[in-house]
């Protein structure tokens, strides 16, 4: 009697463990994608017009002074050498030193990233459950007044860019009513409650931006399930329409809903750049924009890589959740 070798061939492994194989495949693809994005980020920053040494020293700087700065920063070395050195350090959590402020980029990002995640978390805490609830309400009252009102408001919210929504909220709540504050100058050192008050306007802007898209996709996903035979059976058994949506339609539409939620959560983290600039919020987006203006390459590269990592991670989690939610993969024949 021969024992089966410990290392299963790839095909046999996929047949025996289809769910695990797909999850491992998504993890591998995400790692490769992040590596490719790191190359694009480094090359894109390298291709930016202008030169940090010239910006730092001014237009009147002598060629020798510019060359000395470039030599100190290592800009005279080959691009490939600098890329692999930067990537190796980044994998260890070291993003180098800011050229402009001479501070550790990792330490600065540690402070700024916490602020951005704080803002994105509370925006998601409001927008995700509200979008799913509004989507189910819209389905329950489809083609009636509540559904039409929700759709009109969502279309208006989708049509307006985030900076315009932000300025409208500033004008109404901060300028006209005077009931909102800006977090720019005193955000650090605030109590938890004061921080919540300070992020009210930027969080409301993010909620309005992502809420409509999540709500409309939730509505579309549930409507596609409503035409299924088991939904008709549930209604014939006397189950209420809204209860049927909550108990049967929504769970079976989880895969597309999770995908759209993950995409919008990624936007909340990655797309805060415009909102943070509008509200002068001390987060990653503002930090990155400030670095771009002076061509502070280590900061721009670090912020770009972290934003890309969050986006890829959330999309990978959405794929894995959709895979796990597939009963054919959970219970293969």
Tell me the three state secondary structure of residue 297: helix
Separation CA 328–CA 72 (nearest Å)? 59
Q: Which residues pair with 97 in a beta bridge?
A: 104
Question: What's the token pair of residue 172?
Answer: 């109404």
DSSP 2: P
Contact yes or no for 257/136 (Cβ under 8 A)? no
Q: Check residue 1 and give its pLDDT.
A: 44
Instruction: Kindly list the structural domains of the chain, giving each domain's residue range(s) and its CATH number in brackets, ordered by start.
Output: 109-303 (1.10.3720.10)
Long-range contacts of 94-99 (CB under 8 A, 24+ apart): 95/298, 95/299, 95/301, 95/302, 96/298, 96/302, 97/298, 98/291, 98/296, 98/298, 98/299, 99/52, 99/56, 99/73, 99/294, 99/296, 99/297, 99/298, 99/299
Question: What is the per-residue pLDDT for 13?
Answer: 67
Residue corresponding to tokens 């912020």: 303
pLDDT at 172: 84
Compute the distance between CA of residue 86 and CA of residue 83 in angstroms, rounded to an integer.
5
CA distance 325 to 323: 5
User: How much is the pLDDT for 161?
Assistant: 84
HSE toward the beta carbon, residue 122, CA cutoff 13 A:
18
Three-state DSSP state, 104:
strand
Beta bridge partners of 104: 97
Produce one character per residue of 79-91: b if its CB has 16 or more CB atoms within 10 Å, e if not.
eeebbeebeeebe
Cβ pair 119, 272 in contact under 8 A? yes
Distances (CA, A) of 96 to 77, 87, 103, 298, 300: 16, 11, 9, 6, 11
pLDDT for res 69: 74
Q: Is the dihedral of CA 156, 158, 164, 166 positive or negative?
A: positive
> pLDDT tens string for the chain (333 positions)?
444 444 557 677 676 777 787 888 888 899 999 999 999 988 888 777 666 666 666 666 677 777 777 777 777 788 888 889 888 988 888 888 888 778 888 888 888 888 888 888 898 899 888 988 888 888 878 888 888 888 888 888 888 888 888 888 888 887 787 776 655 445 666 777 878 888 888 888 888 888 888 888 888 877 777 776 666 676 666 666 667 676 666 666 677 777 778 878 888 877 778 888 888 888 888 888 888 887 788 888 899 899 889 888 888 888 887 777 666 655 555
With CA atoms as reference, report the closest residue to 264 among 318, 306, 308: 318
Secondary structure E strands in 171-314: none
Query: Do residues 8 and 305 make contact, with C-beta atoms less than 8 angstroms apart?
Result: no
Distances (CA, A) of 223 to 79, 119, 196, 220: 52, 32, 36, 5
- The pLDDT value recorded for residue 2 is 45
* Dihedral sign, Cα of residue 305, residue 187, residue 182, residue 213: positive
How many CB atoms are closer than 10 A to CB 219? 24
d(CA 41, CA 302): 9
Distance CA 275, CA 71 (A): 37
Q: Give Cα 99 distance to the centre of its chain.
A: 27
């Amino acid at each position: 009697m021969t024992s089966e070798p410990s290392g299963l061939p790839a095909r046999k492994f996929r047949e025996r463990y289809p769910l695990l194989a797909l999850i491992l495949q998504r993890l591998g693809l995400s790692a490769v994608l992040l590596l490719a994005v790191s190359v694009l980020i480094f090359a894109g920053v390298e291709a930016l017009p202008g030169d940090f040494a010239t910006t730092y020293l001014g237009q009147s700087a002598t060629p020798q002074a510019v060359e000395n700065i470039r030599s100190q920063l290592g800009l005279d070395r080959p691009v490939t050498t600098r890329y692999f050195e930067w990537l190796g350090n980044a994998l260890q959590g070291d993003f180098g030193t800011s050229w402009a402020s001479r501070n550790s980029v990792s330490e600065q990002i540690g402070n700024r990233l916490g602020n951005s995640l704080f803002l994105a978390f509370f925006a998601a805490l409001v927008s995700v459950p509200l979008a799913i609830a509004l989507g189910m309400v819209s389905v329950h009252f489809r083609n009636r007044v509540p559904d039409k009102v929700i759709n009109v408001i969502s279309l208006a919210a989708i049509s307006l860019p985030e900076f315009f929504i932000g300025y409208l909220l500033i004008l109404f709540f901060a300028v006209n009513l005077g009931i909102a504050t800006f977090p720019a100058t005193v955000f650090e050192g605030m109590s938890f409650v004061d921080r919540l008050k300070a992020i009210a306007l930027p969080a409301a802007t993010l909620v309005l931006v992502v809420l409509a898209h999540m709500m409309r996709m939730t509505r579309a996903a549930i409507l596609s399930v409503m035409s299924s035979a088991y939904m008709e059976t549930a209604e014939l058994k006397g189950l209420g329409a809204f209860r049927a949506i909550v108990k049967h339609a929504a769970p079976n539409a989880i895969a597309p809903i999770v995908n759209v939620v993950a995409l919008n959560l990624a936007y909340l983290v990655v797309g805060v750049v415009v909102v943070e600039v509008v509200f002068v919020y001390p987060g990653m987006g503002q930090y990155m924009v400030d670095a771009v203006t002076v061509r502070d390459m280590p900061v721009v590269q670090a912020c770009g890589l972290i934003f890309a990592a969050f986006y890829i991670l959330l999309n990978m989690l959405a794929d894995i959740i959709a895979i796990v939610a597939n009963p054919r993969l959970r219970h293969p024949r």
